[in-house]
Copies of this chain bind each other. A is one copy, B any other.
Amino acid sequence: MVRVGVVGATGYAGAELVRILAGHPRVTLSTLVSRQYADVPFDAVYPALTGLVDTACTSLSVEAVCETADLIFLALPHKVPMSIVPELMRQGKRVIDLSADFRFRNAAAYEAFYQPHTAPELLARAVYGLSEINRDAICGADLIGNPGCYPTSILLPLVPLAREKLIQASGIVADSKSGVSGAGRTAAVASMYCEITESFKAYKVADHRHNPEIDEVLGRAFQQQVHLTFVPHLVPMSRGMLSTVYATLADGVDTRQVADCLAAQYDASPFVRLLPEDRLPETRFVRGTNYCDIAFRIDADNRRLILVSAIDNLVKGAAGQAVQNMNLMLGWEETLGLDGLPFPV
């Protein structure tokens, strides 16, 4: 058994990590760090886990974490991880960071949207943890920058097509819709039930932090600079994310080529489901799972390709993909601990 720790265990992504890891057959959850709930049993914060995970949370001590865990997940707000990770690496730990701190190769791109990077020397060592796209690099990595949920849902359908240049690099629009858990567990009026239920909105229109992450990865795939138009929306549901991505087909490309390209990329990937032609993704179909469901249609008159992808923002968009990456890093079956079946309803 590998001893793992979760730092930031009581946020939504952290708690989802706890759920998955507590059921994982080859790890022991040795440490749960939560500043806010230090000394409180985890199941007092999340009573769903009463009797199942009753470990008390601890406050953050890098030393203590290093003593008790071999692999550490960080589910913390941006900026905190880069202050901890250098020491964890020195101690020979493997680290999977769910924040943006280690997602960029280019410190400048990070700094343009966040703050000065205090551990830029680690960026070259960190691997961007989009499992299906970077599987080989992840297998050999000891530091993972786990992708954001929006980038995951947008990049999985786009990257294979971009690499093959089946679509044009310019003019891509990603219209994404997220459940509320993406906003985290911090109490805020805007996240209250009465402000969310039975309503729908766009937010941070043409002003979202995930853009540089998407642009960087997509630019590498296209081998040219890319700037896609991205608008996030909020859906009255707790979990789930659906992205509708509009791209222009390259000259001469047809339906078959798109289908073949996606199949070639994903047929051996257990967590990407390319849906049969007559189905479209719904977020409930992937709820609680690590799947990314993908379908596409072509608006022939405009030669526009419409890709639709659905993930659970807390699983494939955060904790699940992090565990998938752990499995890859440790040479285990990719699906270990992630094979719970989706609920029919």
Interface residues of A (CB under 8 A from B): 12, 15-16, 18-19, 22-23, 44, 46-52, 170-171, 173, 175, 177, 179-181, 185, 187-189, 191-203, 205-207, 227, 229, 231, 233, 235-240, 242, 244, 246, 273, 275-276, 279-288, 293, 295, 297-299, 301-302, 304, 306, 308, 310, 314, 339-345
Is B237 within 8 A of A197, CB to CB?
A: yes
Is B180 within 8 A of A193, CB to CB?
A: yes
The CA-CA distance from A231 to B193 in the complex, in Å, is 22
Show 23 A/B contacts (Cβ-Cβ < 8 Å), sorted by A. Answer: A16-B343, A19-B341, A47-B282, A47-B285, A48-B284, A48-B287, A48-B342, A49-B341, A52-B342, A173-B304, A175-B246, A177-B200, A193-B193, A197-B197, A197-B236, A198-B239, A199-B240, A200-B283, A205-B308, A229-B302, A235-B235, A238-B345, A239-B345
The CA-CA distance from A141 to B19 in the complex, in Å, is 35
Tell me how far the C-beta of A328 lies from the nearest C-beta in chain B, rounded to whole angstroms: 21
Known: A189-B185, A239-B198. A16 touches B340 (CB 8 A): no
5 more CB-based (< 8 A) A-B contacts, given A205-B306, A227-B301: A12-B344, A46-B344, A175-B244, A200-B235, A231-B306
- In-complex Cβ contact of A201 among B23, B179, B280 (8 A): B280
